[in-house]
Structure 1
Amino acid sequence: MTTVKPPIKQHSQQSNATSLQTATLQAKRGGRISPCMIPIFAQSPGLCLHSSVGKLPLNWKDYLRNDENKTELFAFLPVELLSLLQDIRIVSNVGSEIKSSVSLGSLLRDISLEGLEEADGRIILHSMDIACGSARRIVIRSSDTDVLVLAVSFFHKLQKKGLKELWVLFGVGKDRRYLAAHDVASTLGEKKATALRFFHCLTRCDPVSYFASRGKRTAFSAWLTDEETGAFYKLSHPSDLPLPDDLISAVEKFIVRMYGVKDEEITSVVGARQYMFATLSRSVQAIPPTKGTLVKHILRAAYQAGQVWGRAADGTKTSSPDPWGWFLQDDKWVPVWTDDPVIWAECTALDRYDCKTNCGTQRC
């Protein structure tokens, strides 16, 4: 991957993500710090964003840990920036509307953000708008791997609008570096670069879980066949349910190979589980998931890659995650792990029981 610093101006966007990504991260955040409209001082001399009331938070980390505080802060910043920086093009969301310090391009005009759930996808939408406005070089500043993957996967589409180079200023502090997303996309080719969206979601992204004991390097090494690339490519675009059996089968074969099963006659996770557990004596944590669990995981990955990110470049509304391996519980989206019956509820007779604690549940 190319990591050089181009002599170019930066275009950045910041927005608070919602929906599935928020639901999977909110549990890690703390309580709310008392809200206030705070004065913000820009680095440029003579430029001051302020409000008539409020004080700076004593602890910014704690203040920004809560979504309500960030919502209020992000509602304040774009309004002030848009009014003060008339000589620089700034595009941001104010509520559910896209606002600009200059006239909006046709791509963003009349678009509502109510159906655009993630800030990651909005970055691609703004990049498409910039490319349609004759820009030849774009820099996205982000420390999120999801954004880097989206930049690579959408480059060829942006290239058709005239874009020549797409850079990502990745990392923080001394670890920041410029990554040439256009070089990576050109090396992979258009189809595989686009298919990278589903691959990334399948092997872990912010809203989607991962396979135990299998990282992305192992998974990428197992990505070998055109059949898999074709399936990943299709699932990186909006799809209808139910997903075709041939796509499920292609992903299943990939998972079997990702877990190191080299026997070409074993193409299902059922066969792989039996072979690895009974023949190779692997632990339960080191074998593939059940077929029911895998199908739900594929649905969640396909929803994120196709229904959410696949619509990012045109700004169309995202469909509900309800039939895609999620269900709504207490106003939060929770994964449906499997529709299979719980084994200890169906099979209470054991040939061997080695519990040392006499817990009585028989779940071990």
Structure 2
Amino acid sequence: MGWIEVTSPAPPLPDPQTTAAFPRVKLKALDKAKILRGTEVKIIPFTNRKQIGTNAIMFLPLAELSSSLAHDQPLLTPGDTLWAAGWVIKANDPEFPHSNWNGWMKRIHANDAKQSTQIEFLPVIEGDPNDLNTIFTTLKECIRRAGVAIVTFDLPIWLKAVNIIKQANLPVIPRLGGFHLLKSYLGSMGNIMEDSGLLDVIQLIYPGSTTAKHIMDGGCFDKAIRVHLLIDAAIYQHIMKLAFTEEERGDMKTFMEKVADGKMGARHSDPVVPVFEQRFEETFKRLAKGGRTPALWVEYHHMVDVIKLDHHMVDVLYFQVRAEDADVLVMLVHHSSDSHHPLFLTTSNGSYDVRKIKESLSETQKSYLLFCHAFTGCDTVSAIAGHGKTTLFARFCEGDAAEYIDIFLDTEATKETVIQAGTAIFKYIYHGRDTALGEIRYNMFSRKAAAGVIKPETLPPTEGAAAQHSLRAYLQTRDWILLQSMSLNPSDYGWTIGVHGYEPVPTLDPTAPEELLQFTSCNCHGDCSNRRCSCKKNGVTCISACGVCNGITCRNCSHDVVESEEDIDNDC
């Protein structure tokens, strides 16, 4: 099987020295065989031969398919409106020069910048192109080269490829070749319009029943496209001849002449263009409600628009993002739209269909996704030990902490409300909503101490640490929502500037109470009465933790001090 790789737009050209022509070298048959053997693609057997792939294809109503398109972008260009307007002008002014759709488009786009495309011929796969093993091998090689691949086949092989892709769940978008796709569409149009009188109209352009019937069946490819575009032009002339004033037609004629002369690109507009677009749309909508016959011909007009769209279509069928970071996947799922092109995240472990992931989530899960990923640990926020993301995500989506999570999704929330909400969420995580966070921490420590196993990282954070964690999580969530980096001053949201840049602030609370920080003990064998005693030196009394005196038998304990005072009093 022969195959090529098409890249559009083409990558930058390498150094001209590396693209210089190579001298032709005559090789012997044995040398050619060695070269070909080095590029040989080994056939991978396809073992699953059940013909179930095409059964999994879903056929959707046209209305449902069209609803998935981005309605904020017109399907046809202003150039199409100008082409239709030209026929309206010609209906009133037969001397006005105007061409069919293909000629008009070539004329107004003659000076457009053309996008370059790179075509690379790949090693021939030694196998029957119709064999399932060969097709399977080709698909696997495409995946190896491109991750998520768009592969175009002719109709017979396309059907088999769809079966294989569905059965093996391969990350491949199978595309029917443009010729077969449009030919099938033209045949469908002929079938729909079979008893409408379209055949008789076609014979006015191409006399004879044989050619006309071939056109109706999708044959005579070039003639079929020309016929349908000419009939669409006649429809515009017939129904729109008197729809515009002489002044409107004059303004459009002047603008069209500028465009045709290259003085104005076809993508630029003029105030008269929206007038024609709106009038066209209103007229066809009104006719569609005027009975079965007008509605059928309006539908035919829209089918011809699809032919134009096929010629306009930019060959961008999907977008692929390459990254190894879960943060990227979470943002793609949150910000992607169903009206956009298919979107895939490709990692070293495989590819992920962002649209399918988003469709599998409930509305609540979609809303809480960014917050949950930030709060439970990401590149800028520490994880919560002992609590997995999946478990916490499920708990958050139950709705019991919704009022607090919504504060993190509010880009105008204050620091005080964020800290309060974050503390409440930590209490919810550790099942103590009506208990202070410090008390929850103490109770859990006591239980673990009694059991003899204490892992400090599994304890709830202190209120100070929870506050800083919450501020960092809020800042990261806000950045993701707004698609901005450091949308607020990080120094106010759990970060400080250190030697190596921004560093997280663990807490603003002291490490321990002041009395505990001043804790000192000694191991003196004397009476602890001089500065050789560490307790005496630091100005504190001996305590029970002192090794010898235990804060009882020395002269630096509180008991001795009291006795000394009593003795003094007695002496006095």
TM normalised by structure 1 equals: 0.51
- Aligned partner (choices 311, 324, 333) of residue 143 of structure 1: 324
Q: Which runs of 5+ in 1 are unaligned?
A: 1-8, 12-41, 52-84, 89-132, 356-364
| Distance in structure 1 (CA, Å) of the matches to 2:499 and 2:447 | 44
| Distance in structure 1 (CA, Å) of the matches to 2:544 and 2:412 | 45
Displacement after TM superposition at 1:192 (Å): 2.8
| Distance in structure 1 (CA, Å) of the matches to 2:467 and 2:361 | 27
| Distance in structure 1 (CA, Å) of the matches to 2:546 and 2:408 | 44
Q: Which secondary structure state, in structure 2, belongs to the residue aligned with residue 146 of structure 1?
A: helix
Q: Which residue of 2 aligns with 1:297?
A: 469
Q: How does 1:171-320 map to 2 (within 5 A)?
A: 171-172=347-348, 175-176=349-350, 178-244=351-417, 247-259=418-430, 261=431, 265-266=434-435, 268-281=436-449, 283=454, 284-306=456-478, 308-312=479-483, 318-320=487-489
Q: Which residue of 2 aligns with 1:48?
A: 14
Q: Which secondary structure state, in structure 1, belongs to the residue aligned with residue 360 of structure 2?
A: helix
| Distance in structure 2 (CA, Å) of the matches to 1:10 and 1:148 | 25
| Distance in structure 1 (CA, Å) of the matches to 2:374 and 2:7 | 28
| Distance in structure 2 (CA, Å) of the matches to 1:149 and 1:220 | 13
| Distance in structure 2 (CA, Å) of the matches to 1:189 and 1:354 | 62
Q: Is the 8 A contact 1:140 1:168 kept in 2?
A: yes
Q: Which residue of 1 aligns with 2:226?
A: none
Q: Which secondary structure state, in structure 1, belongs to the residue aligned with residue 373 of structure 2?
A: helix
Q: Which secondary structure state, in structure 2, belongs to the residue aligned with residue 140 of structure 1?
A: strand
Q: Which secondary structure state, in structure 1, belongs to the residue aligned with residue 470 of structure 2?
A: helix
TM normalised by structure 2 equals: 0.34
Paired-residue identity, %: 23
| Distance in structure 2 (CA, Å) of the matches to 1:136 and 1:346 | 68
| Distance in structure 1 (CA, Å) of the matches to 2:373 and 2:546 | 39
| Distance in structure 2 (CA, Å) of the matches to 1:180 and 1:352 | 66
1:335 aligns with 2:335: no
Displacement after TM superposition at 1:298 (Å): 0.6
Q: Which residue of 2 aligns with 1:87?
A: 116
Deviation by residue 1:213-236 (Cα, 9 ceiling, x = unmatched): 333234334324425345334424
Q: Is the 8 A contact 2:331 2:370 kept in 1?
A: yes
Q: Aligned letter for 1:144? A: D
Deviation by residue 1:51-110 (Cα, 9 ceiling, x = unmatched): 9xxxxxxxxxxxxxxxxxxxxxxxxxxxxxxxxx9537xxxxxxxxxxxxxxxxxxxxxx
Deviation by residue 1:262-285 (Cα, 9 ceiling, x = unmatched): x6644x422321221124546233
Q: Is the 8 A contact 2:427 2:433 kept in 1?
A: no
Cα distance 1:193–1:335, how it changes in 2: closer, same or farther (>3 A)? Answer: same
Q: How does 1:68-107 map to 2 (within 5 A)?
A: 86-87=115-116
Cα distance 1:10–1:134, how it changes in 2: closer, same or farther (>3 A)? Answer: closer
Displacement after TM superposition at 1:142 (Å): 1.6
Q: How does 1:104-183 map to 2 (within 5 A)?
A: 137-155=318-336, 158-159=337-338, 162-163=339-340, 165-169=342-346, 171-172=347-348, 175-176=349-350, 178-183=351-356
Q: Is the 8 A contact 1:237 1:310 kept in 2?
A: no
Q: Which residue of 1 aligns with 2:286?
A: none
More helix by share: 2
**Greater relative CO, 1 or 2 (CA 8 Å, sep 6+):** 1
Deviation by residue 1:305-348 (Cα, 9 ceiling, x = unmatched): 10x21211xx6983321101111123611111111112064523
Deviates more, 1:268-277 or 1:199-208: 268-277
Displacement after TM superposition at 1:179 (Å): 1.5
Q: Is the 8 A contact 2:419 2:471 kept in 1?
A: no
Q: Aligned letter for 1:168? A: L
Q: Which runs of 5+ in 2 are unaligned?
A: 1-5, 18-113, 118-313, 521-542, 548-572
Deviation by residue 1:238-265 (Cα, 9 ceiling, x = unmatched): 3343241xx5444434333434x3x664
Cα distance 1:140–1:229, how it changes in 2: closer, same or farther (>3 A)? Answer: farther
Deviates more, 1:281-290 or 1:220-229: 220-229
| Distance in structure 2 (CA, Å) of the matches to 1:10 and 1:318 | 37
